[in-house]
Amino acid sequence: MKTLLFVVCISFGVACNQSGFLGKNESKQANTDQSPEAVSEIQPDPVVAASPEEIPSEVSPVDEATIDGSCTDAAQTVVTDDRLARQYLFSKSEQIDLSGNEQTIDVTMGYDAEGSYLCVYSLGNQATIDVASLVSLKGIYLKDKGLNNNFLLTLAPGVAVDELFVYSEGNTKIQIVRE
């Protein structure tokens, strides 16, 4: 069964705490209690959203075509496996396509990338994708069709991401950190 995730945050400061999205530690299940009291007690650690019942209230379903259409419109160039490096510094909208297993990439959205988009497609398993943004972005789109992948988004102080769309068929671990 496909797990669909859709996150729209005007400022991640509203939905995220200092170091993450939900859960006390990654060995526990996500809190599905959506009451205002429970939402206010969100712990700053990662969550693995393995089913729609475990998705926080800020998340709504999005289909694969939404991700594909948004990335096609947003990305100016595509970085594929044949050009794959370990570290990137982007200054404009970009798309990264990963298809191998156990890949680790570090992406920094530099100061010239203000208002741009980042699209990441991962078809492999056990990938680690670390994204750091120094500036506010219009959107980050993550499409994950692999298993046991990790997505870490680190935002500098005062940085906002207007839209974070996540489509996952696997068990993607998503962590959002504010420095």
**Which distant-in-sequence residues (6+ apart) come within 8 Å of 160 by Cβ?**
9, 10, 11, 12, 13, 136, 137
Cβ atoms of 166 and 142 closer than 8 Å: yes
Strand ranges for the chain from DSSP E: 3-7, 47-48, 77-79, 87-90, 94-98, 104-109, 117-122, 128-133, 137-144, 150-155, 161-168, 173-178
The predicted-structure confidence for 94-144, as pLDDT tens digits, reads as follows 888 888 888 888 899 999 999 988 888 888 888 888 999 999 988 888 888
Q: How far is CA 179 from the centre of its chain?
A: 16
Strands 173-178 and 47-48: what pairing?
antiparallel
Strand-pair category, 117-122 with 161-168: unpaired
At residue 144, the pLDDT reads: 86
pLDDT in tens, 40-76: 444 334 444 444 444 333 444 567 777 777 776 666 6
CA 48/CA 69 separation, integer angstroms: 26
What tens digit of pLDDT does each residue of 6-37 get?
A: 333 323 333 443 444 333 344 444 455 555 45
pLDDT of residue 135: 92
